[in-house]
Amino acid sequence: MIEVRNLTISYGEKTVLNNISFKWKNGQSYGVYGEHGAGKTVLLDHLAGACTCKSGTVLINGFDLQAEPLKAREFIGYLPQNNALYEQMTPVEYLMYIADIKGMGYEKAIRAISGLLDVTGVSPRRDCLIGNLSPFEKKCIGIAQTALGKSDILIFDDPWKGLSPREMQKTEDLLNYLSEKATLIISGCEKEPLYELCDCIFLLSDGVLFDMSVQTMEKEEKN
């Protein structure tokens, strides 16, 4: 479970997140949309433990990200918008490096990486340098990196950014596959992909998180 209590984030006089609280159960997919600059990345950074909470609390499966960060982060995989990859490594080398950081044994890592490269479609390019891959193939490696290990809460910040419609559909299919195995939290400026993929939808506007899931269900019932 992801539980947030009274999370407030301000930069100067601008309040980006205003006393946000919620409980999200495991086993579902959650979408957060809003305009550019609404604070989606700020929210996801704090859920993933990439930023320190100065006001408020974030609990991951009962562990406080502030008080017990190592234990809490064991459950989290996070793909930020601008995910830096080591471009002089091959996909296999890079993912083995990530697996080592995550404390995976060699045999388990090899099996997991092979499966993820197959699922993402990058397997035929497994021995190429990452620097020579397409932007979409790099995105797929980032998704594989996020899902690698025992993380059961996967967080993706606008994973469709910069992709073609065809690549967006492939990404949606991949995230849908991952949603069968983990809890997903996905942000985006466009709500349509999130409505297709997520169980629960939230709008972040003026520092407030609005639950749009009820409105979504009412709309589906009318149709």
User: pLDDT category, 147, cuts 50, 70, 90?
Assistant: very high
pLDDT band at 132 (very low <50, low <70, confident <90, very high): very high
Nearest alpha carbon to residue 133 among 82, 88, 83: 88
- The yes-or-no verdict on residue 148 having pLDDT over 60 is yes
The pTM is what? 0.91
- Domain ranges, ordered by start, for the chain: 1-75+152-166+182-223, 84-151
What are residue 128's phi and psi, to 5 degrees?
-85, 155
What mean pLDDT is predicted for residues 88-95?
96
Residue type, 69: P
Q: How confident is the model at residue 214 (pLDDT cuts 50, 70, 90)?
A: low
Q: Tally Cβ neighbours within 10 Å of residue 121.
A: 13
d(C-alpha 99, C-alpha 152), whole Å: 15
Nearest to 23 by CA among 77, 59, 68: 59
Collapse the DSSP code of 82 into the 3-class scheme (helix H, G, I; strand E, B; otherwise coil) and give the result.
coil
Write out pLDDT tens, residues 110-122: 999 999 999 999 9
CATH topology of domain 1-75+152-166+182-223: Rossmann fold (3.40.50)
Q: How far is 149 from 207, CA to CA, in rounded Å?
A: 33
Q: Within 135-209, where are the H helices?
A: 135-147, 165-178, 192-197
